[in-house]
Amino acid sequence: MFISARERSILQLLLETDDFFTVKEIAQRLEVSERTVHRDLAGLEDVVNGYDLKLIKKAGVGVQFDGHPSKRDELKRYLYNLDITEYTQNERETLILCKLLESHEPIKLVGLANDLRVTVATISNDLNRVEEWLESMQLSLIRRRGYGVQVEGAEALKRHAISSLLATEYNDSDFFTLLKQSIQKKSKGDVMESASDQLLGLVDREKLHQVEAIVQEVNNNLPYMMADSAYIGLIVHLTLAVERIEQGEKIQMEGAYLTSLKETKEFHSAEAISKRMEDYFSIPIPEAEVGYITMHLRGAKLRSSSSYYLEESNYPITVKARQLIREVSDRIDVNLESNDSLFQGLVTHLGPATHRLNQKMSIHNPLLTKIKGDYPDLFNMISEAVEKVFTGITIPDEEVGFLVLHFGSALESSNKKNDLHILAVCSSGIGTSKMLATRLKQEFHEIDDVKSVSLFELEREDIHAFDLIVSTIPLPDIDKNYIEVSPFLSEKEAKGIRAALQKSTVTHRRIALKEKESGFESGHQAVDWFTRSAAYNETASSIMKHFALTEGQEKDIEELLEKECIRLEQGTSMTRAKAVTEALLKREEVGGVGIPGSSLALFHTRTHDIHKPTFSMIRLQKPVKRKAMDGEEIDIDTILLQLAPEDATTEQIEIMSFISTVIIETNETMTLFEEENEERILVFLAEKLRGFIIEKLSIKGEIY
């Protein structure tokens, strides 16, 4: 049965989701008239019926597939393996980009025209749009009569362009699946190669799977999980690196920036990856390449809620997150400043996001169109707020879209909840699962908590601790029933979840009756609770004991810091006060210490010379100029000093990180630290820490 390129595109578009697509939306996507779409849809009825599927058409609503998921998958496989006889314009442009980015020599237009079975004039027209796309990637297209066409630009930018092409074409869960299918797919002689095949051909399959094994091994040893999209981006980058190093291509990196990357913990992980790749592929990996691997690792973090800012100089991000929440709250006239979940989610996202933006690394948001459609006003408000808070950085719509998910989730959460706990799974634990969590809370008020995890994180979860698992991707290897849905939940999917929740609610109530007899589910849980309780309380007690607000007589900040470190050394909190002082000043060289919008400066470090976590303050006699975290110079009159051991425990880091967020929680709290006396600050801090520890040690909503 013959299927035209346009008909194939319509089918693939409808198979992407369970939602309705209007004819107007399809026409806009394919850049054709609505009349053409109506004609093509009528011609597709026989194809669809042949797979026991139906095209549901509702006036004013749109078009949607109806049928068993297995039949949809069968049709997807048929379209993927379909013999290609013609290409759409978008497919031609993708193929042209593939050929240009792969080639080290100029390509003749007539050669492209023959390969794609169109005229030279058509190719010339396609190249106009290709050139626009390349310019957005900071690459140039050289076009000269008698010479041909060729891409010109830095090696790093070419790799970035290839990664962007792959990210645009494939979502995270499909990428490796399609790779495996393309490996198994046999050549069919002179049949034209599909755009998907050509695109996947940009990366060597065997190399990619070996690189994946190397990265997975190192990933297991990282102190944090990587977002799936970034994980795949790193694997693609490394595979391209191997191929292009073998071809003599070299990547360049500015020396000062490379030196700064060497100071990070990710650089050591990058070195481990490079060493394994050198051994396996028998190629030399230059130091600049190690730098780029480090950039990928630093832009790939899925941070835990404790946000180890002391370890990663992440405090400026917490300041920006607070500023953004205040700005958005003012614009939408809803106070979100006390929403801890929103704050933690923003810090988790903004750390890697700002790093990607600063290094001009790509970000792909497959939900952007849907987000703009569902949250148009919120999108515009957050876009304006972001522009005001993040001065000097251009934030693309893709990143704004992810921020909308965080704020949308906070706004749509309801107080009318039961005690059901849901696990939401998607290929990336940041994007689609966050949207799914929002939709679940919006649709089902009986849900108390939705935990979003990525496919790679799933194996670390106790899946039996959740009342229901909802996933946007197939989960063939788990031993518990789950419901597979789209991120935005169709009406049919919502009904299925409703039935499962009703069943789970009955079961949950029975279990809850038993739990009233004991808050602990096992002896192991009880031991763990008491151990954590002791660790939290010991840390808080130490901080309270060593806290002091001193009046600094010296004019020199270096002298003030050393004097305070000597005081703490005498109190057995540290040894080698001078070495700790030097570490504090070295940390300041990395970035500003002033907290924007205040007269506070935060100095912090972690070294082996520090034995106990401490927090103290110094009031200056006169304000002094100091560089702030946003790069501006401000007048500071109060120093906040946070010190922690190099091998600090999780509980110690969580408490120290919590104190840092309390300082900038509201304008009122910043004023308190700027103006109040030692006793008032100590009592305020003690109350906050007590609440934090109580929350950390709660079991199923009850405190023991």
Of 244, 223, 347, whose CA–CA distance to 297 is shortest? 223
288 lies in the same domain as 424: no
- Joined tokens for residue 239: 């595979």
Give the pLDDT score at 547.
Answer: 92
CA angle at residue 361 from 356 to 366, to 5 degrees?
A: 90
pLDDT value at 75 more than 90: no
Question: pLDDT tens digits for 303-353?
Answer: 443 433 344 446 777 888 888 998 998 888 888 887 777 887 787 677 667
The three-state secondary structure class of 521 is coil
Q: Is the residue at 156 inside a domain? A: yes
**E strand map for 608-657:** 614-627, 633-645
Last residue of a domain, one of 302, 325, 341: 302
394 lies in the same domain as 354: yes
Give the pLDDT score at 699.
Answer: 55
Q: Is the residue at 112 inside a domain? A: yes
Residue 615: pLDDT band (50, 70, 90) is: very high
314, amino acid identity: N
Question: pLDDT tens digits for 643-662?
Answer: 989 888 888 888 888 888 88
Q: Is the residue at 524 inside a domain? A: no
Q: Is the residue at 24 inside a domain? A: yes
Question: pLDDT tens digits for 463-514?
Answer: 888 888 988 877 776 777 888 887 667 777 887 887 777 665 545 444 444 4
DSSP 571: T
DSSP assignment string, 597-613: TSSEEEEEEEETTB-S-
Place of tokens 């010379």: 609
Least confident of 19-28, 569-578, 610-619, 641-650: 19-28
Of 18, 16, 15, 14, whose CA–CA distance to 26 is shortest? 14
- Joined tokens for residue 202: 């940009």
Share of residues in the chain with pLDDT > 70 (%): 79
In this predicted model, which residue has the larger pLDDT, 165 or 638?
638
Indicate the number of domains in the chain.
Answer: 6
pLDDT value at 617 more than 90: yes
452 lies in the same domain as 476: yes
Question: pLDDT tens digits for 562-599?
Answer: 999 999 998 888 889 999 999 888 878 777 888 888 99
Give the pLDDT score at 382.
Answer: 92
Last residue of a domain, one of 80, 107, 140: 80
- CA separation for the pair 224, 39 (Å, rounded): 52
pLDDT value at 66 more than 90: no
196 lies in the same domain as 210: no
Q: Is the residue at 680 inside a domain? A: yes
Give the pLDDT score at 300.
Answer: 59
Q: What is the mean pLDDT of residues 676-682?
A: 91
Q: What is the mean pLDDT of residues 380-390?
A: 90
Q: Is the residue at 411 inside a domain? A: no
Question: pLDDT tens digits for 152-206?
Answer: 988 777 877 777 776 665 544 445 444 444 444 433 333 344 545 555 556 676 7
Q: Is the residue at 33 inside a domain? A: yes
Report the chain's mean pLDDT, rounded to a whole number. 77
> pTM for the whole thing?
0.50
504 lies in the same domain as 563: no
Q: Is the residue at 703 inside a domain? A: no
137 lies in the same domain as 169: yes
CATH number at residue 555: 3.40.930.10
Answer for the pair 40, 5: CB distance below 8 angstroms, yes or no. Answer: no
CA angle at residue 659 from 654 to 661, to 5 degrees?
A: 95
Question: pLDDT tens digits for 495-508?
Answer: 788 777 766 554 54
- CA separation for the pair 612, 101 (Å, rounded): 54
HSE, side-chain direction, 13 A CA sphere, residue 117: 10
Give the pLDDT score at 427.
Answer: 65
Give the pLDDT score at 384.
Answer: 92
545 lies in the same domain as 657: yes
Answer for the pair 166, 202: CB distance below 8 angstroms, yes or no. Answer: yes
**Strand arrangement of the beta sheet that strand 447-454 belongs to:** 447-454, 420-426, 468-471, 483-484
- CA separation for the pair 301, 224 (Å, rounded): 6
| Cβ neighbours, 10 Å, residue 309 | 23
Residue 217: pLDDT band (50, 70, 90) is: confident
- CA separation for the pair 575, 247 (Å, rounded): 53
Give the pLDDT score at 348.
Answer: 67
- CA separation for the pair 294, 253 (Å, rounded): 12
Answer for the pair 693, 543: CB distance below 8 angstroms, yes or no. Answer: no
Radius of gyration of the chain from Cα atoms?
28
Share of residues in the chain with pLDDT > 90 (%): 12
Asked whether the CA dihedral 312, 316, 322, 327 is positive or negative, the reply is negative
Q: Report the 3 state secondary structure along 189-242.
A: CCCECCHHHHHHCCCCHHHHHHHHHHHHHHHCCCCCEECHHHHHHHHHHHHHHH
In this predicted model, which residue has the larger pLDDT, 608 or 518?
608
Give the pLDDT score at 514.
Answer: 44
196 lies in the same domain as 215: no
Domain that holds residue 338: 312-405
511 lies in the same domain as 595: no
The three-state secondary structure class of 156 is helix
pLDDT value at 216 more than 90: no
End-to-end alpha carbon distance in the chain:
68
256 lies in the same domain as 157: no
542 lies in the same domain as 633: yes
Q: What is the mean pLDDT of residues 64-78?
A: 80
- Supply φ then ψ for residue 334, to 5 degrees: -135, 125
Give the pLDDT score at 509.
Answer: 44
pLDDT value at 68 more than 50: yes
276 lies in the same domain as 319: no
Last residue of a domain, one of 140, 174, 200: 200
- CA separation for the pair 158, 134 (Å, rounded): 9
| Cβ neighbours, 10 Å, residue 336 | 16
pLDDT value at 395 more than 50: yes
- CA separation for the pair 510, 514 (Å, rounded): 7
Asked whether the CA dihedral 343, 345, 348, 354 is positive or negative, the reply is negative
pLDDT value at 84 more than 70: no
CATH number at residue 128: 1.10.10.10
pLDDT value at 19 more than 50: yes
